[in-house]
Amino acid sequence: MGGSTVCPKKTLNVSTLSDFVKFSRFPNLWLIGKKIYCLPFTVTVETKIREFQYKILNDIVYTNDKLFRFKIIESPLCTFCQKEDESLEHLLFHCTITKNFWLAFSTWISKQNISIETLTLINILFGVFNDNEDFAILNHLILIAKYFIYKCKLNKIKPTLRVFFEKIKLVCHIERKIAKRNDRLHKHYEKWGKILPLL
């Protein structure tokens, strides 16, 4: 938690992202590259979440396919389903276990009156870019959820909405403390308002 709220685009090596986006399977993202890079700095003050998103953007999340290639583990199979190779895309999107989590996540989000369309692989990896009022909370929740899925993989447990709620509560609580200290409580309530009654 804590840290700068300023997007580091001038200090970080943006060309790394450029290369990733350019050579990845998502060349159309090239245009919003900087927005993608700044997103975690716009919607959260949580350092770990920002770092994890940085790893996603630079393709340095150590999923089983990579660990297998480096001869660190004996199988590239997915920790959750044990059926397909665990690439980043598989872990965070294609895996049936993960898909079930995202389905529960999306159903819960829409029940809270937060506008959400069907989450695509691109939304999950890079963010949802639109002008609606829920931009900050929706993207923050997606960032928390991705890191949560990754932590579940590390702990070899399946991601559930129930445990995810506990994580959200904690994040909200810590953000409220920071907001209070910085005299920005109004901003905090503006962002978390729709789900605060549940937390």
- How near is the Cβ of 97 to Zn ion at its closest, in Å? 6
Report if residue 137 touches Zn ion, rule: CB under 5 A.
Answer: no
What is the size of the binding site for Zn ion (CB under 5 A)? 4
Cβ distance to Zn ion smaller for residue 56 or 78: 78
Cβ distance to Zn ion smaller for residue 157 or 185: 157
Residues 74-113 interacting with Zn ion (rule: CB under 5 A): 78, 80-81, 95
Cβ distance to Zn ion smaller for residue 78 or 141: 78
- How near is the Cβ of 112 to Zn ion at its closest, in Å? 28
- Main-chain dihedrals φ then ψ at residue 83, nearest 5 degrees: -115, -35
Cβ distance to Zn ion smaller for residue 80 or 148: 80
40 Cβ contact partners less than 8 Å away, ≥ 6 residues apart: 49, 50, 53, 54, 143
Cβ distance to Zn ion smaller for residue 44 or 98: 98
- How near is the Cβ of 25 to Zn ion at its closest, in Å? 19
- How near is the Cβ of 95 to Zn ion at its closest, in Å? 3
Nearest-angstrom CA–CA distance, 17 and 20: 5
Cβ distance to Zn ion smaller for residue 78 or 109: 78
Task: State the burial class of residue 148 (Cβ atoms within 10 Å of its Cβ: 0-12, 13-18, 19+).
Answer: buried
* Cβ neighbours of 125 (radius 10 Å): 20
Nearest-angstrom CA–CA distance, 197 and 31: 38
- How near is the Cβ of 159 to Zn ion at its closest, in Å? 11
Q: How close are the terminal C-alpha atoms of the chain, in Å?
A: 19
- How near is the Cβ of 162 to Zn ion at its closest, in Å? 20
Residues 177-196 interacting with Zn ion (rule: CB under 5 A): none
DSSP secondary structure string for all residues of 2-31: ----S--TTTS-HHHHHHHHHHSS-GGGGG
- Interacting residues with Zn ion (CB under 5 A): 78, 80-81, 95
